[in-house]
A and B are shown apart, each in its own frame.
Chain A
Amino acid sequence: MGWMRAPRTGGLMLLALIVAAIPWFLPNNFYFEMAILVGINAIVAVGLNLLIGYAGQISLGHAGFFGLGGYCSGILVATYGWPPALALLLGAVGVAALAFIIARPILRLKGHYLAMATLGLGIIISIVVSTEDWLTGGPDGMYVPPFTLFGWELYGEAVWYWVIGGLLLLAVWLALNIIDSPVGRALRALHGSEVAAQAAGVDTTRAKVRVFVVSAVFAAVMGSLHAHYAGFVTPTSSGFFHSIELVTMVVLGGMASTFGAVVGAAILTVLPQLLSGFEDYEMVVFGLILMLTMIFMPQGLVPTLARVCKRRDQRASPIPGVDEVDP
C-alpha cells in the first residue's frame, strides 16, 4: 500500500484520474475554458513552487517569463510566419538563456533584495512589451494564430483540455522527480540553511540557478500555449499583478507541495468566476477568503489538510514509517 501514498505514484495517479474524470462534469465550453485556464496556471505554479517552495527563493517576475513566451510565439508566428512548435521551442530556449544569464547575479541577493530584483525584471519586460508597439502591438496586444503541428490545427476546447491536462501530468511528474533527485535534495538542504548546505558540499549557486531556469521555462512554454489558445497576447499577461497571482497560487495551495500548487491554481482561477455574482464586493470577498486561509492555514491548504488527515489516520491505525510521506 506504500506506493499508493507516495506522491510520485499514488498522488500522480489520483491527479490523472481527476483530469480524466473532469470532462464528464463540464456542461459546456465555458467550463472547459475554466478547466484549461486552471491547467495552464497550475503548470506555471508547479514550476514556480520548485523555486519558492523548495529552493526558498522568491520570484515576483514570473509573469514576465510567461509574457515573453507568449510574445515570442506571437511575433515569430504571426509576423514572421514561423511554425508554432518551433517558435514555442525558441521561446523556451530564449527564456532559459535569459534566466540563466540573469540568475547568477540575481540569486546572489537574498530576501527582499531578491524579490526586488525579480520584480524589477518583470516590470522591465512588461514595459518593453507595452511600449515597443511596432513589434508587440502595444497596450492592446497582438493577434496570435492557432497552434498547428504537422498541418494539424489544435482547435476546440476539448482538444485543448486533453493537451493541457497531459502537460499538467507531465509537469507534475517532472517536478516530483526533480524534488526526489539529488538536485531536489540539494535544494531542500539550501532552503533549510544555505551555509549548512555549502558546508555539506552542495554547490548552492548552481542548484539555485538550475531551478530558476527550469521554473522560467515552465512559465515560458505555458505563456506560448496560452497565447495560441487565447488567440492574442497582451501586456497584462506579463504584468506585475499576474506575477503576484502566480505567487499567491503557490502560497495558498501550500509551499513545498506540488499538489498544493495545483490546488492553489485551481482555486485562484475559479474563485473570481464563482464570485462574479457579488458584483462590487467580488474583490472584497476574494481578499477575505485569501486572508482567512492564510491566517488559519499559514502553511497553505494541502499541507495543512494532509497533516490533519495523517493525524486522524495514525489515531485509527498507527503504521510505522508512514510519516516519511511528504506530500
Chain B
Amino acid sequence: MRGKHVRAWLAASAVAMASSGAIAADTIKIGSFLSVTGPASFLGDPELKTLQMYIDQINAEGGVLGKQLALVHYDVGVDADNARTSTKRLLEDDQVDVIVGGSTTGTTMAAVPLVERAGVPFISLAGAVVIIEPVKKWVFKTPHTDRMAAQKIFEDMKARDITKVALISGTGGFGKSGRAQSTAVAGDYGIEIVADETYGPKDTDMTPQLTKIKNTDGVQAVLNFGFGQGPAIVTKNYKQLGMTAPLYQSHGVASKKYIELAGDAANGVRLPGSALLVADKLADDDPQKPVVIGYQTMYEKATGTDVSTFGGHAYDGLMIAVEAMKTAGSTDKEAVRAAIENTQGFVGTGGVVNMSAEDHLGLDLTAFRMLEIQDGDWVLVD
C-alpha cells in the first residue's frame, strides 16, 4: 500500500510537472473552484457545465488573442478550507490567468485574501454583498446581491401598498445575509417588519413559524429568504395553513426545481428573478433577449436540463473575463483587472453590466424582473 502510494505520488507529481512544463504561451488558463457536489450542487453543477461548454465553443472559434482557453477546475463542496487550498493550488501550482468561480459566499470569501495578495483577477459567482462591499481591488462578481433582491421586493410591495411584512428566513448563509439586508433596507420603502422567524437548513416543517406569523396582527405580506428545500416547504405549509397574504420569495429559488417541489402551492408567489427565467416572454426590443435566448438554447441543447439563473452567472463571469482580455490585448493581470473594472454596457444573462472603480458588480435594480408563478410557469409582472 505504501509502495503504491509513493508511486501514485511520483506519478502525480510527474504529471503535474509535465503539465506545468507544457504551459506553452498558446494557452490561457481559466481557473475555477465550484460547489459541484454537496448541498450547493444546484449552483456549482450548472456553473461548471456552462464554463466547459463555452470554453469549448470559444476554442472551436479560434480562442482568445489567438490562444486556446484551458479550464482548470476543482470541486470544493461548500467547504471554505477546501476552497482556500484549491485557490492556492490554482494560483501557485496551476498559475492561472484569471479565476471565475466560487459558487457560495463562504467559499468566495475564503479565496479573497489569497487572490488579493497574489494579484489575480477573480470573478465570483456568489450572492452576498460583502464580496464587493467594501470594494476589493481584484475581486468582482456577476450575480445580483441579496440587498438588490430585498430592494426589488420592497419596491413591488410598496407599489401594492403593503407596509407590514413578516419575514421568515433560513439560518444558512444565504438566508442569514438576506435577512440582515432585508431588515436594513425595509425602512427605505416605508416597510415595517412585524414578525421575524427563522428555520434551520434541515427542517422539514415550518408550520410553527408560519402559525406564529399567521397570528401576528396586521401582516400584509410574507417574505421568505432562503434557498434549497426550505422555501418549497414554506410555500407548501403556507398553503396548508390557508394563509392568503401575498407570499414573496427571494431570487434564491429562481429555478424550475422550486416550482416542481412546491407544486400548486407556488401559484401566486412573487419573486425577483433574472431575465433568463423568462427568456421567451421578454419584449422583442429588450437588449437582453438575444443573449438569454442564445444561452438558454445552447445550455438546454447541450445538457438536456432546464436552464437556471446560476449557470447564467458563470456565463456572465466567463464572458466578462474574455472581453476584458480582448480589450487589454494581453493576459497581463493588471491590464485584465483594469479592463474588467472598465466593463461598460456588457449585456449578460444577469443584466446590463456597467462596472467602475467603486462598483465591482455593475448591475442596478432593472437587472431584476419581478416574476409571479402561475400554473407552474414564470410570468412577468412588470
Contact = CB atoms under 8 A, between A and B. Distances in A.
A297 interface: yes
A322 B8 CA distance: 33
Residue from B81, B91, B113 whose CB has the most chain A CB atoms within 10 Å = B81
Contacts of A276: 74-75
B75 A139 contact: no
A139 B171 contact: yes
B102 to A, nearest CB: 12
A267 B92 contact: no
A326 B12 CA distance: 34
A30 B171 contact: no
A7 interface: no
A204 B176 CA distance: 46
Interface string B49-88: 0000000000000000000000000110011110011001
Interface in A234-281: 234, 236-237, 267, 270, 273-274, 276-277, 279-280
A30 B80 contact: no
Contacts of B113: 231-232
A273 B8 contact: no
A292 B37 CA distance: 24
B76 to A, nearest CB: 10
B106 interface: yes
Interface string B18-43: 00000000000000000001000000
8 contacts: A138-B171, A140-B105, A140-B128, A141-B110, A232-B84, A232-B109, A270-B9, A280-B37
Nearest to B78: A236
B183 to A, nearest CB: 13
Interface residues of B, number: 32
B172 interface: yes
A139 to B, nearest CB: 4
- The DSSP consensus for interface residues of chain A is helix
Nearest to A274: B12
B89 A30 contact: yes
Interface string A139-170: 11100000000000000000000000000000
Interface of A: 27-31, 33-34, 37, 130-131, 133, 138-141, 230-232, 234, 236-237, 267, 270, 273-274, 276-277, 279-280, 282-283, 292-293, 296-297, 301, 305
A321 B4 CA distance: 32
A234 B85 contact: no
Interface of B: 1-2, 5, 8-9, 12, 17, 37, 74-75, 78-81, 84-85, 88-89, 91-93, 105-106, 109-110, 113, 128, 171-173, 176-177
Given A234-B106, A237-B81, A301 B2 contact: yes
Contacts of A283: 37
A138 B2 contact: no
Contacts of A301: 1-2
B81 A293 contact: no
B75 A282 contact: yes
B173 A29 contact: no
Given A30-B92, A234-B80, 12 more contacts: A28-B93, A30-B93, A33-B88, A33-B92, A37-B85, A139-B172, A140-B106, A141-B109, A234-B81, A273-B85, A276-B75, A283-B37
A274 B75 contact: no
Given A141-B106, A301-B1, A29 B92 contact: yes
Contacts of B105: 140
B133 to A, nearest CB: 14
B203 to A, nearest CB: 13
A42 B23 CA distance: 34
A231 B128 CA distance: 19
Contacts of B9: 270, 274
B109 A138 contact: no
Contact of B2 (A237, A282, A305): A305
